[in-house]
Amino acid sequence: MSIQYLEKERVFCLNTPGSTYLMGIAAQEGFLGHLYYGTKLEDITGAVELFRTQESPYVPEKNERDRGSFMDKFPFEYSSHGVGDFRESSIRVRTMGGQTGTSLTYVKHEIYGGKRKLEGLPATFGQEDEVTTLVITCRDEATGLEVELSYSVFEKLDVITRSARIINGGLETLMLEKAMSGCLDMDGGEFDVLTLHGSWARERHMERKPLGHGEFAVSTLRGESSHQEHPFLGLLSKGADQVQGEVYGFHFVYSGNFVAKAQMSQFGQIRVVMGINPEDFCWKLEPGESFQTPEMVMVYSAEGIGKMSRTLHDLYRGHLIRSPWLHKKRPILINNWEATYFNFDADKIVSIAEESAKLGIEMLVLDDGWFGNRFDDNRALGDWWVNEDKIKGGMGELVAKVNALGMKFGLWFEPEMISPESELYVKHPDWALQIPGRKPCRCRNQYVLDITRREVRDAILEQVFQILHSANIEYVKWDMNRPLTDIGSAALPADRQGEVYHRYVLGMYEMQERLLQEFPNLLLENCSGGGGRFDPGMLYYSPQIWCSDDTDAIERLVIQEGTSLLYPLCCMGAHVSVCPNHTVGRSTPFATRGMTALTGTFGYELDVTKLSEEDKAAVPKQVRAYHACNDLIREGNYYRIASFWENRLYDCYQVVDDKKEKALVFFTQVLGEPAMHSRRLKLQGLKENAKYKLSLIDLEGEELLKDTGRVLGGSVLMHAGLQVERPWGDFQGRLFFLEEV
């Protein structure tokens, strides 16, 4: 069994295929403490000694005069607040008397097969034969507060997920001011911190730096997981790379304000906490009420960063994404946004669809500008009715024309927003988040709807459902183009205003859940000004997320590398766009743009009627390559071979099928170099003793595969390398196919 309780030692042992997680109940007072997390231990005899409670400062019963020293050094499994542990706390609760001290001790535990849902929250899932769960109940005797710490261990993956349910078991109201999802205390060592940072059109750029004494944190207060920071933190042993070294990965299944901290104490101990950002958070808990934290995912790899990435990919494909589209090819779409912006009518959309259908594109997505009085981005959000001055004949007639061409139809919405110039705002100005007496902050000339309120959610979904029922709409792009400000709800009392941020996220989750219940076969793609809400929580509702508004093929190399550090390739919305690129002004070859977009869901973001004849002729060849490669890209195992983020010259990654019989190798020379005749690429994930035929996938030629005449051994490819001739010029891509012979 993957979870055991050793009663004599009072130790919990959690085993995955390659890791062990140990915690125990300290003698006397019953503090729950962490013992070990790392490479799997075959025998844990003597592990309880890792508490070091038999040495100074000893447990309080032996040395009450130095209780504070014990509290500030003991490796707590869920750290306390205000009673002697001066490191980062996991929980803070304020009583009606104004005090905030909390100290938790073990009460009981339960072990069961399977995994229960988290109420109102996205979370990983698994059957009884796939996952085992441990729930440990701890209690603070002074307040009656109880915390249920949940640990779920996946049988075939080196993954442990954690969350906490906080219950007011006392007789008076408590104000929950901080509630982390998990805490990990480790005995120390030299580590680097790996995080993802960015901005609009520059999401998920990796950053690595040494962890020193003090505190390192990534966080957001934007109400969304954000372009700027990502709810991930990695600890890497010194020298760890893609294939070797210890890696601890922590990922948060949540789409709102978060914080992830790594702290090195005065004694060199390391504490990691992750959870909802406590700033502007306060949840009122009446006696008997509870609060459920979102889920924290922990991955351990003794085989470098690459193993962590593949573990997360397998977890999310197998135990988080629920969509019926998960294991299907997504239709190749064309989106009209960069083609027309707001300047279109039904005839223009049909003309794009007609040309697209001839080239093999399978779905047309109508983006912003089809509704209300929406002729620019200053108006009409919230007025979700068809503008028949633009869409003459209505949505049903337009969709029917597109369907008649053999294409599917998709539609853009931004359901969480409201424009000051909209009929909805005139009727319901109090439906926007706002602080009484303050001038509200506009972003993109729009406000944020107060979807903490049921009546607001109902009104918006009623409009959205009416549109979707009116025509054969098979795809929805759900956008969110601004952060949250003016955090105030007219529907909540003063002592619950600290709940707005979290209630907003819960409201958004509920809206998406209701959308999918109403339209169970809908292909939903989430978006937030590009990749501003690309997080595990959103994958629970949509199998793909728009990766970035920056569609430049070279910028996307770094963005997609950072994204694929954590997420399977099938999640990344990726399109071919025109040049000069609308975001950065760079011009890259059409074939390179196609190859970069093939890594993700694949589609087009352009006016196909205005393409050159040469580029237009290349579209069916890219479509052919998508159909030939997508099963492997979507389901295969991802290996990072070289990083443009690191070397600034070239990029290379590889996708291998489970049987190790087929592989795709993506190589992009970003900058040409003088006197560089070829480059050697050491591949991964192949069979040592197999032989592989090497072909070139041609995105421009008449034949898809070009036989290079080369057959190479798996051990040669992995240890000596694949010799790739230098392409001529900048921004040149090569896509290789390996097949066992």
Give the catalytic positions in this structure.
479, 549
CB 213 within 8 A of CB 274: no
Pairing, β 205-210 against β 159-168: unpaired
Q: Concatenate the DSSP letters of all residues of 438-470 into one string.
A: SPPPPBTTBEEB-TTSHHHHHHHHHHHHHHHHT
Q: Given CA atoms 262, 267, 269, 271 in this order, what sign does their dihedral have?
A: negative
User: 718: number of CA atoms within 13 Å, CB side?
Assistant: 17
Q: Give Cβ neighbours of residue 733 (< 8 Å, ≥ 6 apart).
A: 553, 589, 591, 592, 595, 596, 666, 667, 668, 669, 699, 727
Element (H, E) at 36: strand 32-39
Helices 553-564 and 590-598, packing angle to 10 deg: 10
How many residues are given for the chain? 741
CA 589-695-598 angle, to 5 degrees, is 45
54-61: list long-range contacts, CB under 8 Å, 24+ apart.
59/26, 59/27, 59/28, 59/29, 60/28, 60/29, 61/27, 61/28, 61/29
Expressed in percent and rounded to 5, the helix, strand and coil fractions of the chain are: 25, 35, 45
Tokens describing residue 447: 């406000």
Distances in whole angstroms, Cα of residue 467 to Cα of each of 383, 415, 510: 11, 13, 19
Radius of gyration from C-alpha coordinates of the chain? 27
Distances in whole angstroms, Cα of residue 657 to Cα of each of 91, 200, 360, 410: 44, 34, 26, 31
Q: Phi/psi at 595 (nearest 5 deg)?
A: -65, -40
E strands present in 222-328: 232-237, 247-253, 258-264, 270-276, 283-285, 290-292, 295-301
Q: Give Cβ neighbours of residue 649 (< 8 Å, ≥ 6 apart).
A: 669, 670, 671, 673
Distances in whole angstroms, Cα of residue 109 to Cα of each of 13, 139, 151, 543, 547: 13, 12, 11, 35, 41
CA 165 to chain centroid, in Å, comes to 23
Residue 140 CA to residue 80 CA, distance in Å, equals 10
CA 410 to chain centroid, in Å, comes to 23
Residue 19 CA to residue 308 CA, distance in Å, equals 12
Residue 616 CA to residue 614 CA, distance in Å, equals 5
E strands present in 574-704: 576-577, 603-605, 637-642, 650-656, 662-669, 678-681, 691-697
DSSP one-letter code for 102: B
Strands of 32-39's sheet, edge to edge?
Answer: 3-6, 11-15, 19-25, 32-39
What's the one-letter identity of residue 428? H
Strand partners, 408: 363
CB 666 within 8 A of CB 595: yes
Buried b (16+ CB within 10 A) or exposed e, 393-408: eebeebbebbbeeebb
Element (H, E) at 168: strand 159-168
CB 377 within 8 A of CB 440: no
Residue 735 CA to residue 738 CA, distance in Å, equals 10
